[in-house]
A and B are shown apart, each in its own frame.
Chain A
Amino acid sequence: MKKHWWKALAVVIMTYVIWVGLMGDVPRQPILNESIRNVYFHVPLWFSMVILMLTSMIFAIRYLRKGRLNDDHVSVEFANTAILYGILGCATGSLWASVTWGDPWPNDPKLNSVAVGMLMYFAYLILRNSFDDELRRARVSAIYNIFAFAVFVPLIFVLPRLTDSLHPGNGGNPAFGQYDMDNGMRLVLYPSVIGMTLIGVWITQLRVRLRRLRDRLDNVNDSLPKAHSTAE
Protein backbone atom coordinates (compact mmCIF):
# COMPACT_ATOMS: atom_id res chain seq x y z
CA MET A 1 0.00 0.00 0.00
CA LYS A 2 2.89 2.33 0.76
CA LYS A 3 3.93 2.29 -2.86
CA HIS A 4 0.48 2.92 -4.27
CA TRP A 5 -0.66 5.96 -2.31
CA TRP A 6 -0.12 8.22 -5.32
CA LYS A 7 -2.54 6.25 -7.45
CA ALA A 8 -5.21 6.74 -4.80
CA LEU A 9 -4.25 10.42 -4.70
CA ALA A 10 -4.65 10.65 -8.48
CA VAL A 11 -8.11 9.07 -8.33
CA VAL A 12 -9.19 11.33 -5.46
CA ILE A 13 -7.90 14.46 -7.17
CA MET A 14 -9.45 13.64 -10.52
CA THR A 15 -12.80 12.79 -8.90
CA TYR A 16 -12.65 16.14 -7.12
CA VAL A 17 -11.69 17.94 -10.34
CA ILE A 18 -14.43 16.34 -12.40
CA TRP A 19 -17.09 16.89 -9.73
CA VAL A 20 -16.19 20.48 -8.82
CA GLY A 21 -15.20 21.28 -12.39
CA LEU A 22 -18.62 20.37 -13.73
CA MET A 23 -20.80 21.32 -10.76
CA GLY A 24 -18.94 24.18 -9.05
CA ASP A 25 -19.44 27.89 -9.47
CA VAL A 26 -17.54 29.59 -12.27
CA PRO A 27 -17.25 33.27 -13.11
CA ARG A 28 -19.53 34.50 -15.87
CA GLN A 29 -17.59 35.65 -18.90
CA PRO A 30 -19.09 37.17 -22.03
CA ILE A 31 -18.12 34.75 -24.79
CA LEU A 32 -16.85 31.87 -22.72
CA ASN A 33 -20.01 31.31 -20.68
CA GLU A 34 -20.06 27.81 -19.24
CA SER A 35 -17.30 26.65 -21.54
CA ILE A 36 -14.83 28.24 -19.14
CA ARG A 37 -14.97 24.92 -17.29
CA ASN A 38 -12.79 23.53 -20.03
CA VAL A 39 -9.92 25.39 -18.32
CA TYR A 40 -9.91 22.56 -15.78
CA PHE A 41 -9.30 19.94 -18.45
CA HIS A 42 -7.71 21.58 -21.48
CA VAL A 43 -5.01 23.60 -19.74
CA PRO A 44 -3.81 20.84 -17.36
CA LEU A 45 -3.52 18.44 -20.30
CA TRP A 46 -0.91 20.70 -21.87
CA PHE A 47 0.86 21.33 -18.58
CA SER A 48 1.19 17.66 -17.86
CA MET A 49 2.13 16.91 -21.47
CA VAL A 50 5.14 19.20 -21.09
CA ILE A 51 5.98 17.60 -17.75
CA LEU A 52 5.78 14.13 -19.31
CA MET A 53 7.97 15.21 -22.23
CA LEU A 54 10.49 16.67 -19.80
CA THR A 55 10.54 13.39 -17.90
CA SER A 56 10.97 11.50 -21.15
CA MET A 57 13.97 13.69 -21.96
CA ILE A 58 15.46 13.20 -18.50
CA PHE A 59 15.26 9.43 -18.96
CA ALA A 60 16.83 9.79 -22.40
CA ILE A 61 19.74 11.66 -20.81
CA ARG A 62 19.97 8.99 -18.15
CA TYR A 63 20.09 6.32 -20.82
CA LEU A 64 22.95 8.08 -22.59
CA ARG A 65 24.90 8.44 -19.36
CA LYS A 66 24.33 5.02 -17.85
CA GLY A 67 23.37 2.87 -20.83
CA ARG A 68 20.63 0.89 -19.10
CA LEU A 69 17.99 -0.29 -21.54
CA ASN A 70 15.31 0.13 -18.90
CA ASP A 71 15.71 3.92 -19.01
CA ASP A 72 15.08 3.79 -22.74
CA HIS A 73 11.82 1.87 -22.24
CA VAL A 74 10.67 4.39 -19.65
CA SER A 75 11.67 7.27 -21.90
CA VAL A 76 9.72 6.05 -24.91
CA GLU A 77 6.63 5.27 -22.86
CA PHE A 78 6.67 8.74 -21.33
CA ALA A 79 6.89 10.14 -24.86
CA ASN A 80 3.93 7.94 -25.90
CA THR A 81 1.81 9.17 -23.02
CA ALA A 82 2.82 12.74 -23.82
CA ILE A 83 1.64 12.23 -27.39
CA LEU A 84 -1.67 10.86 -26.10
CA TYR A 85 -2.07 13.94 -23.89
CA GLY A 86 -1.17 16.15 -26.82
CA ILE A 87 -3.89 14.57 -28.95
CA LEU A 88 -6.41 14.90 -26.12
CA GLY A 89 -5.31 18.51 -25.62
CA CYS A 90 -5.87 19.20 -29.31
CA ALA A 91 -9.31 17.57 -29.14
CA THR A 92 -10.48 19.53 -26.08
CA GLY A 93 -8.97 22.69 -27.53
CA SER A 94 -10.71 22.10 -30.83
CA LEU A 95 -14.07 21.74 -29.12
CA TRP A 96 -13.49 24.84 -27.10
CA ALA A 97 -12.28 26.84 -30.09
CA SER A 98 -15.32 25.97 -32.16
CA VAL A 99 -17.54 27.25 -29.35
CA THR A 100 -15.67 30.45 -28.52
CA TRP A 101 -13.67 31.38 -31.61
CA GLY A 102 -16.05 29.88 -34.13
CA ASP A 103 -13.49 27.67 -35.80
CA PRO A 104 -12.20 24.26 -34.72
CA TRP A 105 -8.69 25.02 -35.95
CA PRO A 106 -8.07 28.77 -36.15
CA ASN A 107 -4.76 29.90 -37.56
CA ASP A 108 -3.20 30.52 -34.20
CA PRO A 109 0.56 30.31 -33.50
CA LYS A 110 0.10 28.18 -30.43
CA LEU A 111 -1.95 25.59 -32.27
CA ASN A 112 0.50 25.47 -35.12
CA SER A 113 3.45 25.16 -32.74
CA VAL A 114 1.80 22.27 -30.99
CA ALA A 115 1.05 20.59 -34.31
CA VAL A 116 4.71 20.88 -35.23
CA GLY A 117 5.67 19.55 -31.80
CA MET A 118 3.44 16.55 -32.36
CA LEU A 119 5.10 16.01 -35.75
CA MET A 120 8.43 16.01 -33.97
CA TYR A 121 7.36 13.27 -31.59
CA PHE A 122 5.77 11.22 -34.38
CA ALA A 123 9.09 11.50 -36.20
CA TYR A 124 10.69 10.20 -33.01
CA LEU A 125 8.49 7.12 -33.12
CA ILE A 126 9.23 6.57 -36.82
CA LEU A 127 12.93 6.91 -36.09
CA ARG A 128 12.64 4.26 -33.39
CA ASN A 129 10.92 1.86 -35.73
CA SER A 130 13.60 2.16 -38.37
CA PHE A 131 16.20 0.34 -36.28
CA ASP A 132 16.46 -3.37 -35.72
CA ASP A 133 19.29 -3.30 -33.26
CA GLU A 134 17.92 -2.52 -29.82
CA LEU A 135 20.94 -0.73 -28.38
CA ARG A 136 21.44 1.39 -31.43
CA ARG A 137 17.78 2.32 -31.54
CA ALA A 138 17.87 3.31 -27.89
CA ARG A 139 20.95 5.47 -28.29
CA VAL A 140 19.97 7.26 -31.49
CA SER A 141 16.39 7.88 -30.45
CA ALA A 142 17.53 9.19 -27.07
CA ILE A 143 19.65 11.73 -28.90
CA TYR A 144 16.74 12.79 -31.07
CA ASN A 145 14.48 12.96 -28.04
CA ILE A 146 16.78 15.43 -26.29
CA PHE A 147 17.19 17.46 -29.46
CA ALA A 148 13.46 17.53 -30.13
CA PHE A 149 12.59 18.66 -26.62
CA ALA A 150 15.16 21.43 -26.76
CA VAL A 151 13.60 22.72 -29.98
CA PHE A 152 10.09 22.17 -28.67
CA VAL A 153 10.56 24.53 -25.73
CA PRO A 154 11.23 27.72 -27.74
CA LEU A 155 8.57 26.59 -30.21
CA ILE A 156 5.82 26.45 -27.64
CA PHE A 157 6.94 28.97 -25.02
CA VAL A 158 8.75 31.69 -26.96
CA LEU A 159 7.38 31.89 -30.50
CA PRO A 160 3.66 32.27 -29.67
CA ARG A 161 4.48 35.12 -27.33
CA LEU A 162 6.12 37.06 -30.15
CA THR A 163 3.02 37.00 -32.34
CA ASP A 164 -0.61 37.79 -31.94
CA SER A 165 -2.48 34.86 -30.60
CA LEU A 166 -6.02 34.16 -29.63
CA HIS A 167 -4.83 32.44 -26.50
CA PRO A 168 -4.76 34.47 -23.31
CA GLY A 169 -1.32 35.60 -22.21
CA ASN A 170 0.06 35.91 -25.74
CA GLY A 171 0.64 38.77 -28.11
CA GLY A 172 -0.56 41.42 -25.70
CA ASN A 173 -3.62 39.48 -24.53
CA PRO A 174 -3.71 39.43 -20.77
CA ALA A 175 -3.03 36.08 -19.18
CA PHE A 176 -5.86 34.09 -17.71
CA GLY A 177 -4.90 34.96 -14.18
CA GLN A 178 -5.21 38.67 -14.73
CA TYR A 179 -8.86 39.06 -15.42
CA ASP A 180 -11.02 36.04 -15.64
CA MET A 181 -9.57 33.56 -13.23
CA ASP A 182 -10.67 33.85 -9.63
CA ASN A 183 -9.17 32.01 -6.72
CA GLY A 184 -11.95 29.45 -6.73
CA MET A 185 -10.88 28.33 -10.20
CA ARG A 186 -7.27 28.11 -9.16
CA LEU A 187 -8.30 25.66 -6.44
CA VAL A 188 -9.46 23.28 -9.17
CA LEU A 189 -6.91 24.07 -11.89
CA TYR A 190 -3.73 23.37 -9.92
CA PRO A 191 -4.92 20.08 -8.41
CA SER A 192 -6.04 19.13 -11.90
CA VAL A 193 -2.49 19.61 -13.21
CA ILE A 194 -1.16 17.35 -10.47
CA GLY A 195 -3.90 14.79 -11.00
CA MET A 196 -3.44 14.63 -14.77
CA THR A 197 0.32 14.26 -14.35
CA LEU A 198 -0.14 11.44 -11.85
CA ILE A 199 -2.55 9.66 -14.22
CA GLY A 200 0.02 10.10 -16.96
CA VAL A 201 2.70 8.54 -14.80
CA TRP A 202 0.33 5.70 -13.99
CA ILE A 203 -0.42 5.02 -17.67
CA THR A 204 3.30 5.11 -18.36
CA GLN A 205 4.07 2.71 -15.56
CA LEU A 206 1.52 0.19 -16.85
CA ARG A 207 2.85 0.51 -20.39
CA VAL A 208 6.44 0.03 -19.25
CA ARG A 209 5.43 -3.13 -17.41
CA LEU A 210 3.56 -4.38 -20.49
CA ARG A 211 6.63 -3.72 -22.58
CA ARG A 212 8.86 -5.60 -20.17
CA LEU A 213 6.49 -8.55 -20.15
CA ARG A 214 6.34 -8.56 -23.94
CA ASP A 215 10.13 -8.49 -24.11
CA ARG A 216 10.31 -11.42 -21.75
CA LEU A 217 7.71 -13.31 -23.77
CA ASP A 218 9.71 -12.66 -26.95
CA ASN A 219 12.82 -14.00 -25.26
CA VAL A 220 11.00 -17.13 -24.18
CA ASN A 221 9.53 -17.64 -27.65
CA ASP A 222 12.93 -17.13 -29.22
CA SER A 223 14.62 -19.62 -26.99
CA LEU A 224 11.92 -22.33 -27.20
CA PRO A 225 12.38 -23.62 -30.76
CA LYS A 226 16.14 -23.48 -30.31
CA ALA A 227 15.97 -25.58 -27.18
CA HIS A 228 13.73 -27.96 -29.05
CA SER A 229 16.12 -28.32 -31.97
CA THR A 230 19.12 -28.90 -29.73
CA ALA A 231 17.16 -31.56 -27.90
CA GLU A 232 16.63 -33.38 -31.12
Chain B
Amino acid sequence: MQQIGVLIGKEFRLEWRQRYALNGMLLYIVSTVFVCFLSFSLRRNQLTPMVWNALFWIILLFTAINAIAKSFVQERSGRLLYYYTLISPQKIILSKILYNTLLMLVLAGLGFGIYTLVMGVPGQDMDMPLFLLNLLLGAIGFAASLTLVAGIASKAENSATLMAVLSFPVVLPLLLMLIRVSKNALDGLDRSVSLDEIGTLLAIDAIVLALSVMLFPYLWRS
Protein backbone atom coordinates (compact mmCIF):
# COMPACT_ATOMS: atom_id res chain seq x y z
CA MET B 1 0.00 0.00 0.00
CA GLN B 2 2.78 2.35 0.99
CA GLN B 3 4.64 1.48 -2.17
CA ILE B 4 1.60 2.33 -4.24
CA GLY B 5 1.40 5.66 -2.42
CA VAL B 6 5.03 6.39 -3.24
CA LEU B 7 4.50 5.43 -6.87
CA ILE B 8 1.47 7.68 -7.18
CA GLY B 9 3.50 10.47 -5.62
CA LYS B 10 6.14 9.81 -8.26
CA GLU B 11 3.54 10.03 -11.04
CA PHE B 12 2.38 13.39 -9.70
CA ARG B 13 5.92 14.71 -9.49
CA LEU B 14 6.67 13.48 -12.99
CA GLU B 15 3.55 15.19 -14.27
CA TRP B 16 4.47 18.38 -12.46
CA ARG B 17 7.94 18.41 -13.92
CA GLN B 18 6.60 17.91 -17.42
CA ARG B 19 3.91 20.47 -17.03
CA TYR B 20 3.61 21.05 -20.72
CA ALA B 21 1.98 17.63 -21.07
CA LEU B 22 -0.59 18.36 -18.38
CA ASN B 23 -1.26 21.84 -19.71
CA GLY B 24 -1.50 20.38 -23.17
CA MET B 25 -4.21 18.00 -22.07
CA LEU B 26 -6.14 20.71 -20.27
CA LEU B 27 -5.92 22.90 -23.34
CA TYR B 28 -6.88 19.94 -25.51
CA ILE B 29 -10.17 19.39 -23.73
CA VAL B 30 -10.96 23.09 -23.53
CA SER B 31 -10.30 23.68 -27.19
CA THR B 32 -12.19 20.54 -28.25
CA VAL B 33 -15.22 21.71 -26.33
CA PHE B 34 -14.89 25.10 -27.92
CA VAL B 35 -14.51 23.67 -31.42
CA CYS B 36 -17.68 21.68 -30.89
CA PHE B 37 -19.43 24.76 -29.59
CA LEU B 38 -18.40 26.80 -32.61
CA SER B 39 -19.08 24.14 -35.19
CA PHE B 40 -22.62 23.73 -33.96
CA SER B 41 -22.68 27.56 -33.87
CA LEU B 42 -25.25 27.52 -31.15
CA ARG B 43 -26.92 29.75 -28.81
CA ARG B 44 -27.15 28.11 -25.42
CA ASN B 45 -29.47 25.18 -24.78
CA GLN B 46 -30.15 24.32 -28.36
CA LEU B 47 -28.84 20.80 -28.49
CA THR B 48 -31.20 17.96 -27.76
CA PRO B 49 -30.18 15.96 -24.67
CA MET B 50 -29.25 13.04 -26.91
CA VAL B 51 -26.74 15.01 -28.98
CA TRP B 52 -25.47 16.92 -25.95
CA ASN B 53 -24.78 13.68 -24.17
CA ALA B 54 -23.16 11.83 -27.05
CA LEU B 55 -20.94 14.80 -27.87
CA PHE B 56 -19.82 15.12 -24.26
CA TRP B 57 -18.79 11.49 -24.01
CA ILE B 58 -17.04 11.48 -27.35
CA ILE B 59 -14.98 14.49 -26.25
CA LEU B 60 -14.14 12.70 -23.01
CA LEU B 61 -13.22 9.52 -24.87
CA PHE B 62 -10.73 11.30 -27.10
CA THR B 63 -9.28 13.22 -24.19
CA ALA B 64 -8.91 10.00 -22.22
CA ILE B 65 -7.12 8.23 -25.05
CA ASN B 66 -4.75 11.14 -25.53
CA ALA B 67 -4.11 11.58 -21.83
CA ILE B 68 -3.55 7.93 -21.00
CA ALA B 69 -1.59 7.05 -24.13
CA LYS B 70 1.44 8.76 -22.68
CA SER B 71 1.46 6.90 -19.37
CA PHE B 72 4.13 4.49 -20.53
CA VAL B 73 6.02 6.50 -23.10
CA GLN B 74 6.70 9.32 -20.66
CA GLU B 75 9.40 7.34 -18.93
CA ARG B 76 12.43 5.85 -20.54
CA SER B 77 12.49 2.08 -20.75
CA GLY B 78 15.58 1.93 -18.61
CA ARG B 79 13.79 3.62 -15.78
CA LEU B 80 10.81 1.30 -16.12
CA LEU B 81 13.20 -1.61 -15.89
CA TYR B 82 14.57 -0.12 -12.70
CA TYR B 83 11.09 0.01 -11.16
CA TYR B 84 10.51 -3.59 -12.06
CA THR B 85 13.52 -4.66 -10.08
CA LEU B 86 12.18 -2.81 -7.05
CA ILE B 87 8.47 -3.57 -6.88
CA SER B 88 5.97 -6.08 -8.14
CA PRO B 89 4.35 -5.24 -11.48
CA GLN B 90 0.86 -5.39 -9.95
CA LYS B 91 1.70 -2.40 -7.81
CA ILE B 92 3.02 -0.48 -10.77
CA ILE B 93 -0.12 -1.01 -12.83
CA LEU B 94 -2.38 -0.30 -9.84
CA SER B 95 -0.62 2.95 -9.12
CA LYS B 96 -0.76 3.94 -12.78
CA ILE B 97 -4.48 3.12 -12.95
CA LEU B 98 -5.17 5.08 -9.75
CA TYR B 99 -3.18 8.02 -11.01
CA ASN B 100 -4.91 7.92 -14.39
CA THR B 101 -8.28 7.75 -12.64
CA LEU B 102 -7.45 10.91 -10.73
CA LEU B 103 -6.20 12.53 -13.91
CA MET B 104 -9.37 11.54 -15.74
CA LEU B 105 -11.47 12.93 -12.90
CA VAL B 106 -9.69 16.27 -13.15
CA LEU B 107 -10.05 16.32 -16.93
CA ALA B 108 -13.67 15.16 -16.83
CA GLY B 109 -14.50 17.72 -14.15
CA LEU B 110 -12.92 20.52 -16.13
CA GLY B 111 -14.48 19.30 -19.35
CA PHE B 112 -17.90 19.07 -17.74
CA GLY B 113 -17.55 22.55 -16.27
CA ILE B 114 -16.64 24.20 -19.55
CA TYR B 115 -19.06 22.10 -21.52
CA THR B 116 -22.00 23.16 -19.38
CA LEU B 117 -20.70 26.72 -19.39
CA VAL B 118 -20.72 27.09 -23.16
CA MET B 119 -23.34 24.56 -24.19
CA GLY B 120 -25.72 24.88 -21.26
CA VAL B 121 -27.54 21.96 -19.71
CA PRO B 122 -30.41 20.50 -21.71
CA GLY B 123 -33.52 19.83 -19.68
CA GLN B 124 -34.33 21.26 -16.31
CA ASP B 125 -34.56 18.20 -14.11
CA MET B 126 -31.03 16.82 -14.38
CA ASP B 127 -30.07 14.30 -11.72
CA MET B 128 -26.67 15.74 -10.82
CA PRO B 129 -25.50 13.17 -8.21
CA LEU B 130 -26.22 10.31 -10.59
CA PHE B 131 -24.42 12.11 -13.41
CA LEU B 132 -21.37 12.66 -11.21
CA LEU B 133 -21.39 9.04 -10.02
CA ASN B 134 -21.51 8.04 -13.66
CA LEU B 135 -18.56 10.32 -14.38
CA LEU B 136 -16.62 8.63 -11.58
CA LEU B 137 -17.39 5.14 -12.88
CA GLY B 138 -16.41 6.29 -16.33
CA ALA B 139 -13.09 7.66 -15.12
CA ILE B 140 -12.27 4.35 -13.39
CA GLY B 141 -13.26 2.29 -16.41
CA PHE B 142 -11.40 4.47 -18.91
CA ALA B 143 -8.30 4.52 -16.72
CA ALA B 144 -8.30 0.76 -16.14
CA SER B 145 -8.87 -0.33 -19.71
CA LEU B 146 -6.81 2.35 -21.41
CA THR B 147 -3.80 1.97 -19.12
CA LEU B 148 -3.35 -1.65 -20.12
CA VAL B 149 -3.92 -0.82 -23.78
CA ALA B 150 -1.37 1.99 -23.50
CA GLY B 151 1.07 -0.54 -22.09
CA ILE B 152 0.40 -2.84 -25.01
CA ALA B 153 0.65 -0.06 -27.59
CA SER B 154 3.87 1.28 -26.10
CA LYS B 155 5.54 -2.05 -26.89
CA ALA B 156 4.99 -1.55 -30.61
CA GLU B 157 6.27 1.07 -32.95
CA ASN B 158 3.79 3.59 -34.29
CA SER B 159 2.02 3.43 -30.99
CA ALA B 160 -0.25 6.45 -31.44
CA THR B 161 -2.33 4.89 -34.21
CA LEU B 162 -2.24 1.54 -32.52
CA MET B 163 -3.48 3.05 -29.29
CA ALA B 164 -6.59 4.40 -31.01
CA VAL B 165 -7.24 1.24 -33.00
CA LEU B 166 -6.82 -1.03 -29.99
CA SER B 167 -8.72 1.05 -27.51
CA PHE B 168 -11.87 2.10 -29.39
CA PRO B 169 -13.51 -1.31 -29.56
CA VAL B 170 -12.37 -2.24 -26.06
CA VAL B 171 -13.79 0.91 -24.53
CA LEU B 172 -17.03 0.81 -26.48
CA PRO B 173 -19.18 -1.36 -24.18
CA LEU B 174 -18.19 0.89 -21.32
CA LEU B 175 -18.95 4.00 -23.36
CA LEU B 176 -22.39 2.75 -24.39
CA MET B 177 -23.33 2.07 -20.78
CA LEU B 178 -22.00 5.46 -19.67
CA ILE B 179 -23.96 7.25 -22.37
CA ARG B 180 -27.10 5.40 -21.39
CA VAL B 181 -26.80 6.15 -17.67
CA SER B 182 -25.97 9.80 -18.23
CA LYS B 183 -28.92 10.10 -20.61
CA ASN B 184 -31.14 8.79 -17.83
CA ALA B 185 -29.56 11.27 -15.44
CA LEU B 186 -30.10 14.12 -17.91
CA ASP B 187 -33.74 13.26 -18.34
CA GLY B 188 -34.12 13.11 -14.58
CA LEU B 189 -35.55 9.61 -14.71
CA ASP B 190 -36.09 7.74 -11.48
CA ARG B 191 -32.83 6.22 -10.27
CA SER B 192 -34.24 2.71 -10.15
CA VAL B 193 -34.33 2.83 -13.97
CA SER B 194 -30.55 3.12 -14.16
CA LEU B 195 -29.78 0.43 -11.58
CA ASP B 196 -29.32 -2.29 -14.21
CA GLU B 197 -26.92 -0.16 -16.20
CA ILE B 198 -24.96 0.90 -13.14
CA GLY B 199 -24.63 -2.74 -12.17
CA THR B 200 -23.29 -3.57 -15.62
CA LEU B 201 -20.93 -0.60 -15.45
CA LEU B 202 -19.57 -1.78 -12.11
CA ALA B 203 -19.16 -5.27 -13.52
CA ILE B 204 -17.29 -4.03 -16.61
CA ASP B 205 -15.08 -1.84 -14.42
CA ALA B 206 -14.32 -4.81 -12.17
CA ILE B 207 -13.55 -7.14 -15.09
CA VAL B 208 -11.28 -4.64 -16.78
CA LEU B 209 -9.50 -3.76 -13.55
CA ALA B 210 -8.95 -7.39 -12.58
CA LEU B 211 -7.69 -8.26 -16.07
CA SER B 212 -5.28 -5.34 -16.13
CA VAL B 213 -3.78 -6.37 -12.83
CA MET B 214 -3.60 -10.02 -13.89
CA LEU B 215 -2.18 -9.46 -17.36
CA PHE B 216 0.29 -6.68 -16.72
CA PRO B 217 2.94 -8.91 -15.09
CA TYR B 218 3.17 -10.74 -18.43
CA LEU B 219 3.36 -7.53 -20.37
CA TRP B 220 6.28 -5.83 -18.70
CA ARG B 221 8.57 -8.78 -19.13
CA SER B 222 8.60 -8.38 -22.88
**Considering the complex, which residues of chain B in the window 199-215 have a beta carbon less than 8 Å from any beta carbon of chain A?**
200, 203-204, 207-208, 211, 215
Q: Does A105 contact B (CB under 8 A)?
A: no
State A159–B148 Cα separation when bound (angstroms). Answer: 23
Partner of A154, one of B155, B158, B169, B204: B204
* Residues of A bordering B, CB below 8 Å: 64, 113, 116-117, 119-120, 123, 126-127, 130-131, 135-136, 139-140, 142-144, 146-148, 150-151, 154-155, 158-159, 162
With A127-B152, A140-B156 in contact, do A151 and B173 touch (Cβ < 8 Å)?
Answer: yes
| List of A residues within 8 angstroms of B222 by Cβ | 135-136, 139-140
State A64–B149 Cα separation when bound (angstroms). Answer: 17
Task: Decide if B196 touches A147 in the complex (CB within 8 Å).
Answer: no
**Nearest B-chain residue to A144, judged by Cβ:** B152
Shortest distance from the beta carbon of A120 to any chain B beta carbon, whole Å: 4
State A155–B149 Cα separation when bound (angstroms). Answer: 18
Binary contact track B75-98/A, C-beta < 8 Å → 1, others 0: 000000000000000000000000
State A113–B175 Cα separation when bound (angstroms). Answer: 12
Task: Decide if A117 touches B219 in the complex (CB within 8 Å).
Answer: no
**Nearest B-chain residue to A120, judged by Cβ:** B169
* 12 A-B contacts (beta carbon < 8 Å): A113-B173, A127-B166, A130-B157, A135-B222, A139-B222, A143-B148, A146-B211, A147-B149, A150-B211, A151-B204, A154-B203, A155-B173
| Chain B interface size, under 10 / 10 to 19 / 20 to 34 / 35 or more | 20 to 34
**Considering the complex, which residues of chain B in the window 145-192 have a beta carbon less than 8 Å from any beta carbon of chain A?**
145, 148-149, 152, 155-158, 162, 165-166, 168-170, 172-173, 176-177
Task: Decide if B219 touches A139 in the complex (CB within 8 Å).
Answer: yes
State A139–B155 Cα separation when bound (angstroms). Answer: 11
Q: Does B20 contact A (CB under 8 A)?
A: no
Most chain-B Cβ atoms within 10 A of its Cβ — which of A117, A127, A142, A148?
A127
With A130-B156, A154-B207 in contact, do A148 and B219 touch (Cβ < 8 Å)?
Answer: no
| List of B residues within 8 angstroms of A126 by Cβ | 162, 165
**Considering the complex, which residues of chain B in the window 118-163 have a beta carbon less than 8 Å from any beta carbon of chain A?**
145, 148-149, 152, 155-158, 162
* Residues of B bordering A, CB below 8 Å: 145, 148-149, 152, 155-158, 162, 165-166, 168-170, 172-173, 176-177, 196-197, 200, 203-204, 207-208, 211, 215, 218-219, 221-222
Task: Decide if A162 touches B200 in the complex (CB within 8 Å).
Answer: yes
**Nearest A-chain residue to B154, judged by Cβ:** A140
State A117–B172 Cα separation when bound (angstroms). Answer: 10
| List of B residues within 8 angstroms of A116 by Cβ | 169, 172-173
Shortest distance from the beta carbon of A75 to any chain B beta carbon, whole Å: 14
Task: Decide if B162 touches A136 in the complex (CB within 8 Å).
Answer: no
**Nearest A-chain residue to B174, judged by Cβ:** A151
With A64-B218, A143-B215 in contact, do A150 and B200 touch (Cβ < 8 Å)?
Answer: no
Partner of B169, one of A119, A143, A150, A159: A119
| List of B residues within 8 angstroms of A147 by Cβ | 145, 148-149, 170, 211, 215
| List of A residues within 8 angstroms of B170 by Cβ | 120, 147-148, 151
| List of A residues within 8 angstroms of B211 by Cβ | 146-147, 150
Shortest distance from the beta carbon of A150 to any chain B beta carbon, whole Å: 5
State A120–B170 Cα separation when bound (angstroms). Answer: 7
State A127–B162 Cα separation when bound (angstroms). Answer: 7
Task: Decide if A154 touches B219 in the complex (CB within 8 Å).
Answer: no
Shortest distance from the beta carbon of A204 to any chain B beta carbon, whole Å: 23
State A147–B148 Cα separation when bound (angstroms). Answer: 9
Task: Decide if A144 touches B166 in the complex (CB within 8 Å).
Answer: yes
Task: Decide if B215 touches A146 in the complex (CB within 8 Å).
Answer: yes
State A214–B162 Cα separation when bound (angstroms). Answer: 27
Known: A116-B169, A116-B172, A140-B155. 19 other contacts (CB 8 A): A64-B218, A123-B169, A127-B156, A127-B165, A131-B155, A135-B222, A139-B221, A140-B156, A143-B218, A144-B152, A144-B166, A146-B211, A147-B211, A148-B170, A150-B208, A151-B170, A155-B173, A159-B173, A159-B200
With A150-B207, A154-B203 in contact, do A117 and B196 touch (Cβ < 8 Å)?
Answer: no
| List of B residues within 8 angstroms of A154 by Cβ | 173, 200, 203-204, 207
Task: Decide if A140 touches B152 in the complex (CB within 8 Å).
Answer: yes
State A139–B222 Cα separation when bound (angstroms). Answer: 7
Partner of B200, one of A123, A144, A158: A158
